[in-house]
Structures are given as C-alpha cells and as structure tokens.
A and B are shown apart, each in its own frame.
Chain A
Amino acid sequence: MLDEVVAPMTKEDAVRRLLLARVDGAYRLATFILRDPLTAEDAVQEAALLAWDRRRTLRDSQSADGWFTRILVNVCRDELRRRARRPQLVALDPEAGPATEPPADHPDHPDLSTALGRLSADEQTLLALRFGRELTVPEIAEHLRVPEGTVKSRLHATFQHLRAAVDAERRSAEAIR
C-alpha cells in the first residue's frame, strides 16, 4: 500500500509528489496525442486535477504510472472528440492560407498529420502511445486495460484506416490542384 511505501509522508503528500514527478512525461504524451502544445498543457493540468480528485482510487505507488496515464489518456480522448465536433475555421481567401496554424508535419508525407486528424480519437491515441511514446503492445495493453490481442487488432485496423485517410488526403489535394 502507498502508506507503507512512503511512511514518513502523508498519503496526500505522496500522491502530490507522484503527480508532479510525471508532469514532463504526461506533457510529452499529451502533445503526441493532441498535436498541439497549448491544448496539451491544459490536458495535463486537467488530468492532474482529476487524478487529485480521484486519489483514493490509487492503491499503491507501483501502479501510479498506469493510473495517471489512463486518466490523462481519457482527458486527451475527450479533447479529441470535442475537437472533432468543433467547426473548423476556414480561410475565406484561399491565398491567405489556413486560418489556424496546422500541426507540424513530416516533409516526406505532408498528408500524414491531416490524415491523423481523420482517425477516431481512440485510433489517434493508440498511434501516439505506440509510435510517439514508443510503448510496447503489452505496455499499451496495461495502460488501456485491454487484452494484448485487442491492442494488436486495433493497431492493425488503425493502420488500414490511416492508409485510407492518407490516400483520401492525397486525392483531395490532387482534386484542388
């Protein structure tokens, strides 16, 4: 139990330390999932506060990583869902470029970042965990509390969806040209 691991401190002190020690990692993960630093910052704050509110659900310090990651991932997924429902700002003057700053992109595959945005919140989260945070399938399974086989099948389906989304982005770009 947490009380036994960090006996000199109160449980609340220990939870506060656990959360603060994970801010860097949490911010990196939130940035990978949300692909926007400002939103990521808000997500980490929101997750930390939620975790604080739910601190009684943390059984021991050994499981703190997975516990806080799950809370953060859920906050990020909610933000992605909100983002999907939010109207996109479109520049009225096509010469003026996009109304909002697009996420950083890969020079060889300029459609990739836009294509990622076409995926579901769960799919974007899964790719960020696997290829952003470089978590293994068992680690993702542990963090998301789903069977490893489920992670694999979701990764497989997500790759197919991403490929289709990249194709669709390319077709759209060609149609505009």
Chain B
Amino acid sequence: MTDDELEQSLRALYRGMDPRHAPRGLSARIGDVLEGRPGRPVLTARHVPAFAAALAAMLIVAVGLGLRPGGFLSSTVTSPGTVASAESGSPATSVSPSAAPSASPRPSAAVSPTPSAAESASLSPSPTPAPQSLPSGSVPPVSSVLWSNLDVRPLTGGPFGVSSVTAWSGGYLALGRPNYPAPLPAWVSRDGRSWVALPAGTFGPVASVQAARCGDGLLVATQGYTGDTTIWRSTDGATWTSNSAASMSFAGYDTLAGNASGAVAILSETGLAFGRNGRNWQTVSLPGGTAMDVVSVAAFGSGFVAVGATGTTPGSESPAAWWSTDGLHWTRATIQADPGAGFIDVQTGASGLAAMTHSGGVPGTSSFWTSRDGRSWTISQADPLGTIGTGEGMGGVNGLFSGDGTRLLGYGTITDTGPTEYWISLDGTHWTKLSLAGDTATAEAAGGVTPFLLRDGILFSGDKQSWFGAAVT
C-alpha cells in the first residue's frame, strides 16, 4: 500500500465514523454539571466498574503484601537471608532513581552554561542498583568494512520491543518503548549477542526517552507526562546517576546526539544546546535568523550536523542544515534550492550522510538527500528502495533509514507482498543489498521487527523475540 492509498483509506475510515454532531443531551448534561460548578470531575457510570476493580486490586495487593514473609499482616519472623539480601544492595535498600527530583515545573529560563539552582539542588547522586551480573562477551571494534551478508540467529532473553540502541565504548544500551505507567525496559550488552536487563524501574515510567553517547559514557534523557525532564548518566551502562533538568524540554524525537566530544540536544524553548559531560549544558546559536526550525541532529565523526527548515509558514519553508566540528560553533550548510520543503531527518555514515525532506507539510511527499561532509547537500536518486506513490502532491522516499555514524541502513519493502529488504551504505550514495541467512523466516513472519545497527551486525527486535544478524564480510 502506498502512502497515497494509506492516506485515502485513513480519510475514508474517519469519514465512516464521523458522528457530525454530539449525541442529543450531551451538551445539556455538561451544562448542568457546569452550572453546579463541581470542583472535581465525577465518575461516569462507565467508570464505576473500573474504579471498583481498581480498588479491589489495590486491596488484594495490600493484603498480599501484608501476608508475605515479613509483611505487616505476617507473624513470621524475618529470616536472616532476607536481611542479608537487603543489606547487600537489593532495590529495597538502594537509592531509587525516582528519588531524584523529577516533577518540578518547567521554568522559562534558558539552559545555562552552569547548573541552575534547581539543578544543583538535584545533583545528589542517585545510583541505580546494578544488574546482578554484567553481560559476557567483548566489545567489537569499530570497523567500516562493508557488509554483504548477515547470519541471523535468535537471541534468548531479549531485548524485546526495542525503540533505540546506543553504542558506547562499553558496548550497547537498548531501550524499550515507553508504556506509561510501566517502567521503561532497558538492557545492556557488550557484544550485541548477550544482553542483560537493567533492574525494573531503573529509569522509572516515562512518556518519552532518548539516548546518546556522551564522551566515554552514556546519556539517557527521559521526560514524564508532566513535562519533567531527567538526564541519566552512566559510564558502565549498569550504574546510573540522575539529575533533574527542568529547563530542558526536548523538541520531539531524534533530538539528542552525541560522540566522544559531548552531546547536542534540540530543545523546545532555546534551540540547540551542547553539553560536554551531559550535566552542564549551554545554548548555542545557529546562523540564519530567527525563523528556523531545527528538527533532527546527528553526530558525524567528532562533529555534529543538524537539519530543519527556515520559514515558519507552509509553502515559505526552505530546507536548512548546519554543521559543527565541536558542537559549540555552527556554520550553515549549502543547500540545493527546494522551495516549500523542510528536512525531517538526518543520519550519518563513516563517509557520508543521508537526509530526507517533506514538502509543504504534505505527508507522503519526501525527497532523499545526500552529503559527503554535511557542509553541502543535494537531492539524490540514490534511495536504494526507490520512490513510492504518484500523483499530485504525492510520491516520496520508500523505506526507513537509520545510521550509527559508521553505516547507514535502509530497509523496507518495494512491493506489498515482497520480503523486507535491507541495504547498507557507508556514504549514503553507494548501497549494497544484504543477503540474510539463518533464522530469517521466523524473523520475517514475526512482523514489526525493527533493525538496529551494531558494530558487527544488526539486532532485529520484535515484541516477543529478537535476533542477531552477524555480519559476514
């Protein structure tokens, strides 16, 4: 199904369910309630069973906790083993990450080069409990050898439902999808084959999360539903220290990137910010005036690139990009003219970059761009999966793209019934189709499997099963 067809189907679906008007009596009921000026929303009839069920569940849990050994309803004497376990660093005695202040209101002040008073107050270390044992294996070296084949094998024990994988000198961190109020799942690995889950609740429940390498360590930026931001730092992937970063409101997805020099973040209020250690951030200015919208940032070698658009109204936009060698000083890139379009994503390889634009705010209209160095960009026909969709206002890049700073990965299907194809590139211009061998049928049949580039292969993550595709060069 093309984007055009999908869009038409969506419109038809919504048209089919359009009620045109509210049910008779709804306005009157709301009016009556407002007339009575209630201080709190009332439970509707539909909510009462759910409320009762929740109350019953709480009672069951409370009774269960009370009856467990050592519980408040138990007459059993606490065993020495339980005490020893607690004293040796179980979650019961460790400082929980949630102890870090995280629900402070979002201030209007810009991110300052030095920690604000609020941040300073919250910088007390709150290390998380370490996993019981760190994963085995050794961290593969970074290599830009071109891959041609993958040997795909199933993994046992996860990671599942992965939303991002971040590489650092100690290995990899995989983060699951936020599923509030459940805690964010997370795993660490040295070699990408053997993974260990971080203790549940390491990052707490979050609404959105991003991760990046920063110097020798890792950064994880979590945001709750009240807009509270917390920055988590770790050098080993197991022990995390958090601090509230109330003044940092991330402007969407793919807005945090890092390398050995530090990390760059796109913030809603203040634009770009650079942090050398993830703790102290300073805003940086981009050349090009004030009517700019930066939407995606990526690390490229020891520097960074950022892309977005200038102009704030539809049709007046032009794609814009910037590059920096240190994250602090930025230069506007040379862009091929493409009126009415704006960049939406940038990915980096070892010797080139790829990016995409959307035109005029119309979903499905996109162009594929490449650059050798991030300093000049041109529209390219090198998209390995071709263009999909035809007709006025339609047509665009097929497939999805990701990059880890060494390789670029393009994946998708060319036809509705064809298998997923995986293409690899070091520069965004020259692409090689990967041949997959091993347990590919199960992985393909699982559906919704997402690939993540690792140093010597690809992690394929499904909701209940994952695979590692070892690169064969």
Q: Which residues of A contact B (CB under 8 A)?
A: 12, 16, 19-20, 23-24, 26-28, 31-32, 35, 37-42, 44-46, 48-50, 52-53, 81, 84-85, 103-106, 108-109, 112-113, 116, 118, 120, 127-128, 130-132, 136-138, 146-157, 159-160, 162-168, 171-172, 175
Contacts and interface: CB of A to CB of B under 8 A. Distances in A.
A16 B447 contact: no
B23 to A, nearest CB: 6
B16 interface: yes
B13 A106 contact: yes
A152 B30 contact: no
B344 interface: yes
Nearest to A134: B11
Interface string B2-30: 01001101111110111111110011011
Contacts of B313: 138
Q: From DSSP, what is the main secondary structure of chain A's interface residues?
A: helix
B9 A152 contact: no
Contacts of B141: none
B361 A132 contact: no
A18 to B, nearest CB: 11
Interface in B17-71: 17-23, 26-27, 29-31, 33-35, 37-42, 44, 46-47
Contacts of A44: 22, 26, 30
A163 B6 contact: yes
Interface centre among B38, B295, B308 (most CB of A within 10 A): B295
A60 to B, nearest CB: 20
A138 B17 contact: no
Contacts of A168: 447-448
24 contacts: A39-B46, A41-B22, A41-B23, A42-B44, A42-B47, A45-B26, A46-B41, A49-B38, A109-B9, A128-B14, A131-B11, A136-B361, A137-B314, A146-B252, A148-B312, A149-B294, A149-B295, A151-B361, A152-B363, A156-B344, A163-B1, A163-B6, A167-B448, A168-B447
Contact of B363 (A42, A106, A116, A156): A156
Task: Categorize the interface residue count of chain B.
Answer: 35 or more
Nearest to B343: A149
A48 B27 CA distance: 10
A157 B314 contact: no
Contacts of B383: none
Interface in B314-361: 314, 342-345, 356, 358, 361
B109 interface: no
